[in-house]
A and B are shown apart, each in its own frame.
Chain A
Amino acid sequence: MSACIIRGLMKDFCLNGRELKVLKGIDLRLEAGSFVSLVGYSGCGKSTFLRTLLGLTPPDSGSVFFEGMEGRRAIVFQEPRLIRSKTVGQNLLLALHHCPVREEKERVVESVLCILGLSAFRNAYPHQLSGGMAQRIALGRALCRQPELLLMDEPFGALDALTRKNLQRELLRIYLKRKMTVLFVSHDVSEAVFLSQRVLVMKEGDFVRDISVDLPYPRNTGSPEFIEIQNDVHRSIVSENYY
């Protein structure tokens, strides 16, 4: 069974001369094709963990390796981070910067735009897009990388509730179609339970709970089972050792 395996990941930051342990030796196995969410208070190390997985921040110790996978990764940030001088198409092409074949690049961009239903916006500039659309383009840019592991850092956190709901469904649809591994950071418990098969609760640089969500997609957020799991996750976030 292929998987992404993380062993003993540690990272310290120095803040105003004080040593801050952000990641305290994280061990994790992400099965290929699974959707895993990461919840916890802000500042608990979620974002740093994602950046370390992507290689943007080198860890102090520990390792990340891929079993039976090439290890293609991509990230979606909380903000779209599109380049304002480039059209939607050009922004997506940037993700395929390393691909030498022009036709191949065009094909990938076209198919991604098609999946997102945004083909008509290929020549639009970012300032002409709404917040939700811009974020979908950012998701598209990550999909252009054809990732085996998709990292998402609170990707819908800055959107209004209605748009967020839409994008959650859209992400789910794409996930079920592409069968990639997704690691989804969120501060919204309901969102995490709605989307993922496994919810990891993070506290002060380590995981304190690993809750599996054994409900079929699409999930009914009003069902007793759903609410039960949601409450369980909530309790572990605000449990006794929180101060």
Chain B
Amino acid sequence: MKSVCRQLLVPVLLLALYLWACRMEMVNPYLLPRPKQLSDSVFRLLSGGELFEHIRISLFRVFCGFSITMVLAFPLALLFHFAPRVRDFLEASLHFLKSVPPLAMVPLFILWFGIGEASKLALIVAASFFPLFLNIESGLQQVDDRLVEMGRSLDLEKRALFFHIYLAESLPTILTGMRLSFGYSWRALIGAEMIAASSGLGYLILDAQEMARTGDLFVGLACIGGLGLLLDSLALRSVRRFFPWIGAENS
């Protein structure tokens, strides 16, 4: 409870500052919308169901993109770790790709995949792949050889060694990678929707700017930040719930 109060202190102070600035008429309403404008925006966006539609579409995209990332990153990281030959062939190419910022690839994605869903998914995958891939790989690398030896002393075959030792031991790092990677996909998605889209939260913000609806813009920003926060804390909570040993070790 105490920590919740502490966390809320800064937002409440900012809110007070905002209300005070509005009261004193210090900032142009076009730059900083008045509470009335904001509530009008919220009401309008909610009553038509428009806001929920944008959120639904954005969430759908990010979950699709993130799933693709998982499907690609897991096998590739395993291959890298357990087949050093494959690593020799692919390492340089992957480092090359890692150095190219995903946003720089947007024009290429639009050229290749058009302005539909595919180019957005491609951008999400490009942005979230490496945080996940690198974390899985380093998680596997950190597995203590002595534990593997212990597993062999129990006559565990390869499959059991993988699940009971490699995967179990690298799980904390993998989960961190998943959280990081999900954050990256969320941010990349908004970027994607600001470039070529007719729906989604990114589109909502860009459209609001073009139409000079500052209220809508703030509502869109609040949704992006709020949802990001919510999803991350949900992820953290489920990790603590299902894997109580993670994090408890060092305390």
Which residues of A pack against B, CB within 8 Å?
54, 56, 74-75, 77, 79, 81, 83-86, 94-95, 97-98, 125-127, 141, 145
Q: Is the CB of B249 within 8 A of A84?
A: yes
Which residues of B pack against A, CB within 8 Å?
146-147, 149-150, 152-156, 160, 164-165, 168-169, 171, 243-246, 248-249
Task: Give every chain A residue within 8 A of B147 (Cβ-Cβ).
Answer: 81, 83
How many residue pairs link A and B with beta carbons under 8 A? The number is: 50
Give min CB distance, A104 to chain B, whole Å.
Answer: 16
Q: Is the CB of B168 within 8 A of A86?
A: yes
Q: Is the CB of B150 within 8 A of A125?
A: no
Q: Is the CB of A83 within 8 A of B165?
A: yes
**Which single residue of chain B is at the shortest CB-CB distance from A87?**
B245
Max chain A Cβ within 10 angstroms of own Cβ: one of B150, B169, B245, B249: B150
**Which single residue of chain A is at the shortest CB-CB distance from B251?**
A127
Given contacts A86-B168, A97-B155, A97-B160, contact A77 B243 (CB under 8 A): no
Q: Is the CB of B164 within 8 A of A83?
A: yes
Task: Give every chain A residue within 8 A of B246 (Cβ-Cβ).
Answer: 85
Task: Give every chain B residue within 8 A of A86 (Cβ-Cβ).
Answer: 164, 168
Q: Is the CB of B169 within 8 A of A83?
A: yes
| Cα A95 to Cα B156 with chains together (Å) | 9
Give min CB distance, B162 to chain A, whole Å.
Answer: 13
Task: Give every chain B residue within 8 A of A98 (Cβ-Cβ).
Answer: 155
Q: Is the CB of B169 within 8 A of A127?
A: no
Known: A56-B153, A85-B245. 15 other contacts (CB 8 A): A54-B153, A77-B146, A77-B150, A79-B146, A81-B150, A83-B165, A83-B168, A84-B249, A85-B169, A85-B246, A86-B168, A94-B154, A95-B154, A97-B154, A125-B248
| Cα A242 to Cα B154 with chains together (Å) | 37
Task: Give every chain A residue within 8 A of B155 (Cβ-Cβ).
Answer: 97-98
Task: Give every chain B residue within 8 A of A83 (Cβ-Cβ).
Answer: 147, 164-165, 168-169
Task: Give every chain B residue within 8 A of A94 (Cβ-Cβ).
Answer: 154, 156, 164
Task: Give every chain A residue within 8 A of B171 (Cβ-Cβ).
Answer: 85
CB-defined A-B contacts under 8 Å, sample of 22: A54-B153, A56-B149, A56-B152, A77-B149, A77-B150, A79-B146, A83-B169, A84-B245, A84-B249, A85-B168, A85-B243, A85-B245, A85-B246, A86-B164, A86-B168, A95-B154, A97-B156, A97-B160, A125-B248, A126-B245, A127-B248, A145-B154
| Cα A145 to Cα B149 with chains together (Å) | 16
| Cα A145 to Cα B164 with chains together (Å) | 17
| Cα A86 to Cα B246 with chains together (Å) | 11
Task: Give every chain A residue within 8 A of B169 (Cβ-Cβ).
Answer: 83-85
Q: Is the CB of B146 within 8 A of A125?
A: no
Task: Give every chain B residue within 8 A of A85 (Cβ-Cβ).
Answer: 168-169, 171, 243, 245-246
Task: Give every chain A residue within 8 A of B150 (Cβ-Cβ).
Answer: 77, 81
Q: Is the CB of B146 within 8 A of A127?
A: no
**Which single residue of chain A is at the shortest CB-CB distance from B156?**
A97
| Cα A84 to Cα B154 with chains together (Å) | 17
Closest 9 CB pairs of A and B: A81-B150, A85-B168, A127-B249, A125-B245, A75-B153, A95-B154, A83-B168, A81-B147, A81-B146
**Which single residue of chain B is at the shortest CB-CB distance from A84?**
B245
| Cα A127 to Cα B243 with chains together (Å) | 13
Give min CB distance, B178 to chain A, whole Å.
Answer: 16
Give min CB distance, A113 to chain B, whole Å.
Answer: 18
Task: Give every chain B residue within 8 A of A79 (Cβ-Cβ).
Answer: 146
| Cα A170 to Cα B245 with chains together (Å) | 29
| Cα A147 to Cα B171 with chains together (Å) | 32
**Which single residue of chain A is at the shortest CB-CB distance from B149?**
A56
Give min CB distance, B244 to chain A, whole Å.
Answer: 7
Give min CB distance, A48 to chain B, whole Å.
Answer: 13
| Cα A98 to Cα B157 with chains together (Å) | 10
Task: Give every chain A residue within 8 A of B154 (Cβ-Cβ).
Answer: 94-95, 97, 141, 145
| Cα A127 to Cα B154 with chains together (Å) | 22
Q: Is the CB of A74 within 8 A of B153?
A: yes
| Cα A126 to Cα B149 with chains together (Å) | 18
